[in-house]
Amino acid sequence: MNIDLTDTTTRRIQSSLRQARHLMGGPAVGMVLTLVIVTDESAQYDAVRAANEAARENPCRVLTVISRESRGRSSRLDAEIRMGETGPGETVLLRMYGPLAEHADSVVVPLLVPDTPVVTWWPGGRPPSRPGSDPLGALAQRRITDAYAAQDRLGTLARLAEGYQPGDTDFTWTRLTPWRTLLASALDLEHAEITGGLVQGEPDSPSAELLAAWLSIRLGVPIRREISEGPGLTAVRLHTLDGDIAITRPDGRVATLSRPGQPDRQVSLQRRPMSELLAEELRRLDPDEVYHEAATRYLKDLGMGGAS
Protein backbone atom coordinates (compact mmCIF):
# COMPACT_ATOMS: atom_id res chain seq x y z
CA MET A 1 0.00 0.00 0.00
CA ASN A 2 1.29 3.44 -0.99
CA ILE A 3 -0.10 6.73 0.32
CA ASP A 4 1.08 10.09 -1.03
CA LEU A 5 0.55 13.20 1.08
CA THR A 6 1.37 16.63 -0.36
CA ASP A 7 1.87 19.75 1.78
CA THR A 8 1.04 17.71 4.85
CA THR A 9 1.60 17.65 8.61
CA THR A 10 2.85 15.08 11.09
CA ARG A 11 -0.70 14.72 12.41
CA ARG A 12 -1.96 13.68 8.97
CA ILE A 13 0.97 11.30 8.54
CA GLN A 14 0.22 9.63 11.88
CA SER A 15 -3.45 9.34 10.96
CA SER A 16 -2.59 7.79 7.59
CA LEU A 17 -0.26 5.28 9.25
CA ARG A 18 -2.98 4.21 11.66
CA GLN A 19 -5.49 3.88 8.83
CA ALA A 20 -3.06 1.82 6.71
CA ARG A 21 -2.30 -0.51 9.63
CA HIS A 22 -6.02 -0.98 10.27
CA LEU A 23 -6.70 -1.84 6.63
CA MET A 24 -3.78 -4.30 6.50
CA GLY A 25 -4.33 -5.74 9.96
CA GLY A 26 -0.76 -5.07 11.07
CA PRO A 27 -0.19 -3.51 14.52
CA ALA A 28 2.78 -1.24 15.17
CA VAL A 29 3.78 -3.09 18.33
CA GLY A 30 5.70 -5.66 16.28
CA MET A 31 8.35 -3.09 15.36
CA VAL A 32 11.52 -3.19 17.45
CA LEU A 33 13.03 0.18 16.56
CA THR A 34 12.83 3.32 14.45
CA LEU A 35 15.46 3.77 11.75
CA VAL A 36 15.99 7.38 10.65
CA ILE A 37 17.78 7.73 7.31
CA VAL A 38 19.23 11.16 6.53
CA THR A 39 20.00 11.39 2.83
CA ASP A 40 19.33 13.21 -0.43
CA GLU A 41 17.17 12.38 -3.41
CA SER A 42 19.99 10.74 -5.37
CA ALA A 43 20.92 8.26 -2.62
CA GLN A 44 17.52 7.55 -1.08
CA TYR A 45 16.57 4.65 -3.37
CA ASP A 46 19.57 2.46 -2.48
CA ALA A 47 19.38 3.41 1.19
CA VAL A 48 15.66 2.62 1.50
CA ARG A 49 16.10 -0.67 -0.34
CA ALA A 50 18.91 -1.69 2.02
CA ALA A 51 16.81 -0.66 5.03
CA ASN A 52 13.83 -2.70 3.84
CA GLU A 53 16.02 -5.78 3.39
CA ALA A 54 17.55 -5.31 6.85
CA ALA A 55 14.03 -4.85 8.28
CA ARG A 56 13.21 -8.47 7.44
CA GLU A 57 15.46 -9.36 10.37
CA ASN A 58 14.72 -6.26 12.47
CA PRO A 59 11.13 -5.06 11.83
CA CYS A 60 11.17 -1.29 12.13
CA ARG A 61 9.64 1.98 11.05
CA VAL A 62 11.92 3.61 8.49
CA LEU A 63 11.77 7.41 8.41
CA THR A 64 13.71 8.77 5.45
CA VAL A 65 14.54 12.46 5.77
CA ILE A 66 15.18 14.10 2.39
CA SER A 67 15.99 17.80 2.32
CA ARG A 68 15.01 19.50 -0.92
CA GLU A 69 15.95 22.93 -2.24
CA SER A 70 13.89 25.79 -0.97
CA ARG A 71 10.96 26.90 -3.10
CA GLY A 72 10.79 30.49 -2.03
CA ARG A 73 10.86 31.03 1.70
CA SER A 74 7.91 28.87 2.62
CA SER A 75 8.22 25.52 4.36
CA ARG A 76 6.51 22.43 3.02
CA LEU A 77 6.37 18.76 3.96
CA ASP A 78 5.52 16.02 1.49
CA ALA A 79 5.27 12.41 2.63
CA GLU A 80 5.11 9.02 0.95
CA ILE A 81 4.00 6.06 3.06
CA ARG A 82 4.85 2.54 1.93
CA MET A 83 3.49 -0.45 3.79
CA GLY A 84 3.19 -4.14 3.07
CA GLU A 85 5.14 -4.20 -0.21
CA THR A 86 8.75 -3.75 0.80
CA GLY A 87 9.01 -5.57 4.13
CA PRO A 88 7.39 -6.28 7.49
CA GLY A 89 7.72 -2.71 8.77
CA GLU A 90 6.67 0.74 7.64
CA THR A 91 8.54 3.15 5.38
CA VAL A 92 7.87 6.87 5.34
CA LEU A 93 9.70 9.22 2.97
CA LEU A 94 9.70 12.77 4.29
CA ARG A 95 10.60 15.45 1.76
CA MET A 96 11.18 18.80 3.42
CA TYR A 97 11.32 22.13 1.62
CA GLY A 98 12.47 25.54 2.72
CA PRO A 99 13.35 26.42 6.35
CA LEU A 100 11.63 23.25 7.57
CA ALA A 101 14.65 21.25 6.40
CA GLU A 102 16.69 22.98 9.11
CA HIS A 103 14.37 21.59 11.79
CA ALA A 104 13.89 18.01 10.60
CA ASP A 105 13.93 16.71 14.16
CA SER A 106 10.64 18.52 14.88
CA VAL A 107 9.03 16.45 12.11
CA VAL A 108 10.69 13.17 13.05
CA VAL A 109 10.01 13.13 16.82
CA PRO A 110 6.20 12.74 16.59
CA LEU A 111 6.65 9.83 14.13
CA LEU A 112 8.99 7.70 16.27
CA VAL A 113 7.65 4.32 17.38
CA PRO A 114 6.92 4.82 21.11
CA ASP A 115 9.18 3.15 23.68
CA THR A 116 11.60 1.67 21.14
CA PRO A 117 15.25 2.49 20.34
CA VAL A 118 16.16 4.91 17.57
CA VAL A 119 18.98 4.43 15.06
CA THR A 120 20.08 7.30 12.80
CA TRP A 121 21.97 6.52 9.59
CA TRP A 122 23.74 8.87 7.18
CA PRO A 123 24.37 6.69 4.09
CA GLY A 124 25.92 9.43 1.95
CA GLY A 125 29.36 10.92 1.93
CA ARG A 126 28.61 14.00 4.04
CA PRO A 127 27.87 12.89 7.60
CA PRO A 128 28.09 15.44 10.41
CA SER A 129 31.52 15.59 12.04
CA ARG A 130 29.86 14.99 15.41
CA PRO A 131 26.84 12.75 14.77
CA GLY A 132 25.95 12.71 18.45
CA SER A 133 25.54 16.50 18.48
CA ASP A 134 23.40 16.59 15.32
CA PRO A 135 19.68 17.13 16.14
CA LEU A 136 18.70 13.86 14.44
CA GLY A 137 21.70 12.05 15.88
CA ALA A 138 20.85 13.21 19.40
CA LEU A 139 17.57 11.27 19.15
CA ALA A 140 19.35 7.97 18.60
CA GLN A 141 20.99 5.29 20.69
CA ARG A 142 23.02 4.24 17.62
CA ARG A 143 24.43 6.52 14.92
CA ILE A 144 25.79 5.01 11.70
CA THR A 145 28.01 6.73 9.13
CA ASP A 146 30.13 5.53 6.20
CA ALA A 147 33.46 7.26 5.68
CA TYR A 148 34.08 5.10 2.59
CA ALA A 149 31.24 6.92 0.78
CA ALA A 150 32.91 10.31 1.27
CA GLN A 151 35.09 12.03 -1.28
CA ASP A 152 37.82 12.53 1.34
CA ARG A 153 37.60 9.12 3.00
CA LEU A 154 40.51 9.34 5.42
CA GLY A 155 39.78 12.94 6.33
CA THR A 156 36.16 11.99 7.08
CA LEU A 157 37.32 9.05 9.20
CA ALA A 158 39.59 11.35 11.21
CA ARG A 159 36.82 13.92 11.77
CA LEU A 160 34.36 11.23 12.87
CA ALA A 161 36.95 9.69 15.19
CA GLU A 162 37.71 13.08 16.73
CA GLY A 163 34.01 13.80 17.25
CA TYR A 164 33.17 10.32 18.57
CA GLN A 165 30.46 9.92 21.20
CA PRO A 166 29.20 6.62 22.67
CA GLY A 167 26.78 5.09 20.16
CA ASP A 168 28.71 6.20 17.06
CA THR A 169 29.90 3.63 14.55
CA ASP A 170 30.88 3.50 10.89
CA PHE A 171 30.40 1.00 8.08
CA THR A 172 34.16 1.07 7.48
CA TRP A 173 34.42 -0.77 10.81
CA THR A 174 31.45 -3.06 10.14
CA ARG A 175 33.09 -4.24 6.91
CA LEU A 176 35.95 -5.64 9.01
CA THR A 177 33.84 -8.16 10.96
CA PRO A 178 34.65 -11.15 8.66
CA TRP A 179 38.35 -10.20 8.60
CA ARG A 180 38.51 -9.85 12.37
CA THR A 181 36.68 -13.16 12.84
CA LEU A 182 39.02 -15.00 10.49
CA LEU A 183 42.11 -13.46 12.09
CA ALA A 184 40.89 -14.34 15.58
CA SER A 185 40.26 -17.96 14.59
CA ALA A 186 43.71 -18.20 12.97
CA LEU A 187 45.38 -16.85 16.10
CA ASP A 188 43.42 -19.20 18.36
CA LEU A 189 45.66 -21.99 17.07
CA GLU A 190 49.16 -22.39 18.46
CA HIS A 191 51.64 -20.09 16.77
CA ALA A 192 55.09 -18.64 17.27
CA GLU A 193 55.64 -15.17 18.73
CA ILE A 194 54.29 -12.39 16.52
CA THR A 195 56.90 -9.71 15.86
CA GLY A 196 55.04 -7.38 13.50
CA GLY A 197 52.72 -7.26 10.55
CA LEU A 198 51.22 -5.33 7.68
CA VAL A 199 47.82 -4.52 6.19
CA GLN A 200 47.45 -4.02 2.45
CA GLY A 201 44.58 -2.17 0.82
CA GLU A 202 43.53 0.71 -1.39
CA PRO A 203 45.41 3.98 -0.81
CA ASP A 204 42.43 5.68 0.87
CA SER A 205 40.78 2.68 2.54
CA PRO A 206 39.45 3.66 6.00
CA SER A 207 38.86 -0.03 6.78
CA ALA A 208 42.53 -0.82 6.20
CA GLU A 209 43.55 1.99 8.55
CA LEU A 210 41.18 0.81 11.29
CA LEU A 211 42.26 -2.82 10.91
CA ALA A 212 45.94 -1.86 11.23
CA ALA A 213 45.12 0.19 14.33
CA TRP A 214 43.08 -2.64 15.89
CA LEU A 215 45.79 -5.24 15.27
CA SER A 216 48.43 -2.96 16.72
CA ILE A 217 46.37 -2.56 19.91
CA ARG A 218 45.50 -6.23 20.26
CA LEU A 219 48.91 -7.69 19.41
CA GLY A 220 51.12 -4.99 20.88
CA VAL A 221 53.41 -4.97 17.83
CA PRO A 222 53.93 -2.47 15.00
CA ILE A 223 51.57 -2.97 12.04
CA ARG A 224 52.60 -1.32 8.79
CA ARG A 225 50.14 -0.01 6.24
CA GLU A 226 50.96 -0.86 2.62
CA ILE A 227 49.21 0.25 -0.55
CA SER A 228 47.65 -2.11 -3.08
CA GLU A 229 45.35 -1.68 -6.07
CA GLY A 230 42.37 -3.14 -4.19
CA PRO A 231 39.53 -3.77 -4.31
CA GLY A 232 39.25 -2.73 -0.66
CA LEU A 233 41.40 -4.76 1.70
CA THR A 234 43.64 -7.23 -0.10
CA ALA A 235 45.95 -8.78 2.52
CA VAL A 236 46.94 -9.04 6.18
CA ARG A 237 50.30 -10.54 7.10
CA LEU A 238 51.46 -11.22 10.63
CA HIS A 239 55.17 -11.92 10.96
CA THR A 240 56.11 -14.70 13.39
CA LEU A 241 59.43 -16.34 14.24
CA ASP A 242 58.31 -19.37 12.14
CA GLY A 243 57.03 -17.39 9.14
CA ASP A 244 53.98 -15.37 8.14
CA ILE A 245 50.36 -15.97 9.05
CA ALA A 246 48.61 -14.41 6.05
CA ILE A 247 45.16 -13.75 4.66
CA THR A 248 45.22 -12.63 1.03
CA ARG A 249 42.16 -11.60 -0.98
CA PRO A 250 43.08 -10.11 -4.35
CA ASP A 251 39.64 -10.38 -5.98
CA GLY A 252 37.28 -9.18 -3.25
CA ARG A 253 35.60 -12.58 -3.05
CA VAL A 254 37.80 -15.52 -1.98
CA ALA A 255 40.68 -15.33 0.49
CA THR A 256 43.60 -17.66 1.07
CA LEU A 257 44.62 -18.38 4.67
CA SER A 258 48.27 -19.36 4.99
CA ARG A 259 50.05 -20.60 8.11
CA PRO A 260 53.63 -21.76 8.57
CA GLY A 261 53.90 -25.53 8.08
CA GLN A 262 50.23 -25.88 7.11
CA PRO A 263 48.54 -26.23 3.70
CA ASP A 264 46.81 -23.12 2.38
CA ARG A 265 43.05 -22.91 2.90
CA GLN A 266 40.48 -21.13 0.72
CA VAL A 267 37.90 -19.07 2.61
CA SER A 268 34.88 -17.14 1.32
CA LEU A 269 35.45 -13.47 2.17
CA GLN A 270 33.13 -11.51 -0.09
CA ARG A 271 32.60 -7.79 0.10
CA ARG A 272 29.21 -7.47 1.77
CA PRO A 273 26.28 -5.41 0.46
CA MET A 274 24.92 -2.43 2.35
CA SER A 275 21.88 -4.33 3.59
CA GLU A 276 24.06 -6.87 5.42
CA LEU A 277 26.16 -4.14 7.01
CA LEU A 278 23.04 -2.34 8.19
CA ALA A 279 21.45 -5.54 9.55
CA GLU A 280 24.59 -6.24 11.59
CA GLU A 281 24.52 -2.77 13.13
CA LEU A 282 20.82 -3.01 13.98
CA ARG A 283 21.47 -6.17 16.02
CA ARG A 284 23.42 -4.25 18.65
CA LEU A 285 22.64 -0.84 20.05
CA ASP A 286 25.24 -0.64 22.83
CA PRO A 287 28.35 1.54 22.42
CA ASP A 288 31.01 -0.06 20.22
CA GLU A 289 34.04 0.43 22.45
CA VAL A 290 36.36 -1.58 20.20
CA TYR A 291 35.60 0.71 17.26
CA HIS A 292 36.30 3.66 19.55
CA GLU A 293 39.68 2.18 20.53
CA ALA A 294 40.67 1.58 16.91
CA ALA A 295 39.56 5.06 15.81
CA THR A 296 41.41 6.65 18.72
CA ARG A 297 44.58 4.75 17.82
CA TYR A 298 44.22 5.91 14.20
CA LEU A 299 44.05 9.52 15.40
CA LYS A 300 47.07 8.98 17.61
CA ASP A 301 49.07 7.57 14.69
CA LEU A 302 48.11 10.69 12.73
CA GLY A 303 49.43 12.84 15.56
CA MET A 304 45.97 14.24 16.31
CA GLY A 305 45.62 12.95 19.85
CA GLY A 306 42.62 11.03 21.17
CA ALA A 307 38.93 11.24 20.38
CA SER A 308 36.74 13.24 22.70
Of 95, 37, 79, 41, nearest to 61 by C-alpha is: 37
- Residue 37 in contact with residue 52, Cβ under 8 Å? no
Cis peptide before 231 (omega within 30 of 0): yes
Please write the tens of the pLDDT for every residue from 15-70: 998 888 777 765 555 788 999 999 998 889 999 999 999 988 888 999 999 988 65
Q: Tell me what percent of the residues of the chain surpass a pLDDT of 70.
A: 94
Please state at what angle helix 289-302 crosses helix 153-162, rounded to 10 degrees. Answer: 110
For residue 307, the model assigns a pLDDT of: 43
- Would you say how long the chain is, in residues? 308
Of 132, 139, 138, 120, nearest to 47 by C-alpha is: 120
For residue 190, the model assigns a pLDDT of: 87
Please write the tens of the pLDDT for every residue from 104-132: 999 999 999 999 999 999 998 789 999 99
Please calculate the CA angle 35-41-47 and round it to the nearest 5 degrees: 40
> What average pLDDT does the chain have?
90
User: Which pTM value belongs to this model?
Assistant: 0.91
Strand order in the sheet with 90-97: 2-5, 76-83, 90-97, 60-67, 33-39, 118-121, 142-145, 168-170
For residue 178, the model assigns a pLDDT of: 96
Mean pLDDT of 287-298: 95
Please write the tens of the pLDDT for every residue from 229-270: 889 899 999 999 999 999 999 998 999 999 998 999 999 999
Please write the tens of the pLDDT for every residue from 198-207: 999 999 999 9
